[in-house]
Amino acid sequence: MCTTYLAVLMIREISDYDLIGLPRLVRLNPNVPWKTRGNAAICMDFGVGVGRKIQIGDIDEAPVFSYMDGQPAAPDRIFKAAERIIRANAHFECKSTNPGLLVSVRRPDASFYWDTVREIIEIKAVKKEISRINGISKGFKNGRGLIGSAAAMAWRPADRTYELLAYRKPELVGTKRQIDAASVIKMDTTYPSTFHNIDRISGHIAITPGSPCPILFGIRGDNPIDLLRAKDIVRSESPSSWLVFLTNQGTDEHLTRRKIKAVKKREGVILNGEVSREPNTIEGGHVFFEMRDPTGTITCAVYEPSGDMRVAARTLRLGDKIVAYGSVREHPFEINVEKMNVIRLNQNPDKVENPVCEKCGKHMKSIGRNAGYRCRKCGTRVPPSAARTAPRLTPKIGWYEPPIASRRHLYKPVKRFGIKRSPIREILNRFPHDEASAHREDT
């Protein structure tokens, strides 16, 4: 079952309370072995709405409204309704389905978000925090879902993005999604604040999931008002519902800046260093090189199909300065590079051709690295500088990213670096307002 669809079901079911703010879709450590595929958790705020009412979605053609502020709901009533919905919809027979439910007036400490997005944390610590904040909770099956529940509630959005998720009519779930690729390209071009829509090279449409879940498409971006308009450009089968989420997708918050010596298995890291062993390409096109910083060295792997990034990695040379973003594999212990910034190239020119012997007119042979050349015929020796060289042209300084299809939910696209964010409240104010509530405010 798709975790985000529970938001739709809960909003529809919990009608005696109002939704406050945007539902949140929080992605957690993608390197945890016992997670669900997208490792998603959702968090919603229910209460008695106060102030302006904005439209953040549609469920079965009825508008979904949300309030800017609210008074808390009775936690036990929310808990009962949410538990009923999980029991009715979760696919408990699936091994990796271990839902967790937490209802609380107080949020867990922010550290629970950071630990869960970057590391692997113990359920014991989570249960202790839940009792500290007087939360009502239920961990189904192995109970590990509670970790995600607590983490999602603990998230205080610093960097953040938005996703508009559209859901299919129930009778269509499992059939092929009807989406017009040309309209996705048009949407992608019209709204540059959106990202990960479509891979222009392969034509892969990235707004639709690969699995047979209730999602029709999801448009991600930095401006939710653009998402509302972008949705109307996409030509597709008509969705039964849609909803705008606030999310930590596209933020790289799963990555930790590390010295190489401190790198731990199954974490996401950002490493600064220089190439200490030149790349070799193995069968299948995977490229391996080694980088070092003052604390140590580590092997970096750039896998097919990483496109341009793999081509660039093949032309790295000793001493090139790079920043590698990636996740740490356990066996073998190495970095799976997810994106790379080439900061500086060593200025040694590339050798184009071995020197030619002046006596014999034949190409001379290399004696070894930096040892020069020797003629096979007459034995004449020349220094390394005798070879014909050309200035290095590759790789170019700058960022290299994998194709959109191989990026994970938390992957921060380079175009988001340095982006300016408006305060969430200011953005919510720009959503379409419910006329009736606006009128009430005026009078």
**Binding interface with Zn ion (CB under 5 A):** 357, 359-360, 375, 377-378, 380
CA distances from 99 to 89, 273, 343 (A): 11, 41, 43
**Helix (H), strand (E) at residue 381:** strand 381-382
User: With respect to Zn ion, which residue has the nearer C-beta, 106 or 359?
Assistant: 359
CA distances from 194 to 164, 206, 249 (A): 10, 12, 12
In the complex, minimum distance from the CB of residue 358 to Zn ion, in angstroms, rounded to a whole number: 8
Distance CA 10, CA 6 (A): 6
In the complex, minimum distance from the CB of residue 366 to Zn ion, in angstroms, rounded to a whole number: 15
User: With respect to Zn ion, which residue has the nearer C-beta, 357 or 404?
Assistant: 357
**Helix (H), strand (E) at residue 77:** helix 75-89
User: With respect to Zn ion, which residue has the nearer C-beta, 128 or 377?
Assistant: 377
In the complex, minimum distance from the CB of residue 377 to Zn ion, in angstroms, rounded to a whole number: 5
In the complex, minimum distance from the CB of residue 360 to Zn ion, in angstroms, rounded to a whole number: 3
In the complex, minimum distance from the CB of residue 356 to Zn ion, in angstroms, rounded to a whole number: 9
Amino acid at the residue 137: S
User: With respect to Zn ion, which residue has the nearer C-beta, 76 or 358?
Assistant: 358
- Return phi, psi of residue 53, to 5°: -120, 125
CB 309 within 8 A of CB 402: yes
Distance CA 268, CA 307 (A): 21
In the complex, minimum distance from the CB of residue 363 to Zn ion, in angstroms, rounded to a whole number: 10
Distance CA 259, CA 314 (A): 24
User: With respect to Zn ion, which residue has the nearer C-beta, 229 or 377?
Assistant: 377
Amino acid at the residue 159: D
In the complex, minimum distance from the CB of residue 351 to Zn ion, in angstroms, rounded to a whole number: 19
User: With respect to Zn ion, which residue has the nearer C-beta, 170 or 379?
Assistant: 379
User: With respect to Zn ion, which residue has the nearer C-beta, 132 or 365?
Assistant: 365
- With CA atoms as reference, report the closest residue to 323 among 417, 404, 199: 417
352 Cβ contact list (under 8 Å, min separation 6): 387, 388, 389, 390
- With CA atoms as reference, report the closest residue to 341 among 399, 287, 271: 399
Q: How many CB atoms lie within 10 A of CB 157?
A: 17
